[in-house]
Structure formats: structure tokens, C-alpha cells
Amino acid sequence: MTTDSKLASSIRAIKDYPKPGIVFRDITTLLGDADAFRHAVDELVKPYQGLGVDKIAGIEARGFILGGALAHQLSAGFVPIRKKGKLPHQTVRVAYSLEYGVDEMEMHIDAVKPGQRVILTDDLIATGGTAEGAVKLLRQQGAEIVSACFVIDLPELGGRKKLEALGVEVRTLVEFDGH
């Protein structure tokens, strides 16, 4: 895996946020830079052109921003995966693991149809717990997960391997060491 240095330099690092020892990878600086944002979206969609993708599923909240752009570029629909209690219609729910403890995420029950081809997206994959939950939700509704893509990978935390062990192809553009 090679890191896209142009993109890496557009991402701001905030030390000890939200708690000591964590380096928060802030993509608002990437999103605010027209060239970097377009470049990230272009690179993410490139291998998916012509694959017949039905839906992009984005994880709240930064996955919505990338997912909307990817959906537009691929002429696919968009599916929001949200923290529990936020979606207005009937939902399906799954528990997922966080660094400390568990939480739950939801998707509308009719957001994907069995057999639909879906790409999952978020800004960053760390332990992979969040993405794993989303994969379970989508598969539970019969979706075929074509791929999962993220701007940033923190390889030391093992998220990519966790998704690959579930049979999900993972694509990322930038790797950073540490947490």
C-alpha cells in the first residue's frame, strides 16, 4: 500500500483529542481544500466505475460527506448508517464494538434490497469495529458488499484485516502510524 502524500498533507493531526494518546485525523481540512476533496473522491471511485454499484452506504457522520460524493460519481443511491434513534422509519439495528464498550447503529429496513451491490464508506478505519457492524447490517438485509473504502487507514489497529477476514475487499488512500 502506498500513501498518497498529497492527500496525507491535507489532513490535520490533532494530538490528544478526544483524549490523551489519540492523534485525531481531522479531514475537515481535506474537505475544505477543493483540489484535495476532488482528488480523494476521484481516487476512491476510480476502480468502481462500471462495476454496477447500486448503493453507497455511508457511516455517520463523515461517511455521509464522502458517500454522497461517491454516490453521485457512480450514479448510485445513498444509504445512511446512523447511531441509534436518529432514523425516522422502521430500522434494523446491530451492536458494534468501540475501543471501550459497545454501541448500536441502525439502517432503514428497506434501505437495501436483497442482492443489491453496495460499497461501504467512512473517513477512517481504525479497529474496524464500526465498519464490521455496518457490514453485518448490510448483509443481514441481503446486500452484496462489493468493497469498503476509506480515506485513512491506521494499520496498527487491524481494521483492514478484520474486514478482509469477513471477505470484504478494503481500499484506503492514506496510512498513518499509531492510533
Among the options 12, 38, 99, 169, which is catalytic? 99
129 binds ligand AMP (CB under 6 A): yes
Whether 67 contacts 40, CB under 8 Å: no
Kind and range of the H or E element at 122?
Answer: strand 117-125
Task: Write down the least CB distance from residue 56 to ligand AMP, Å.
Answer: 15
171 is catalytic: no
If we measure between CA atoms, which residue out of 32, 38, 72, 33 comes closest to residue 56?
A: 72
| DSSP of 145-158 | EEEEEEEEE-GGG-
Determine whether 156 is an active site residue: no
- From residue 47 to residue 86, the character string flagging contacts with ligand AMP as x (rule: CB under 6 A) and all else as - is ------------x--x------------------------
Smaller CB separation from ligand AMP, 69 or 131: 131
Asked if 24 interacts with ligand AMP (CB under 6 A), we say yes
Q: Phi and psi (nearest 5°) for 61?
A: -110, -30
Q: Is the peptide bond before 18 cis (omega within 30 degrees of 0)?
A: yes
- Residues serving a catalytic function are 62, 99
Summarize as ranges the residues that interact with ligand AMP (CB under 6 A). Answer: 22-25, 59, 62, 122-131, 159, 179
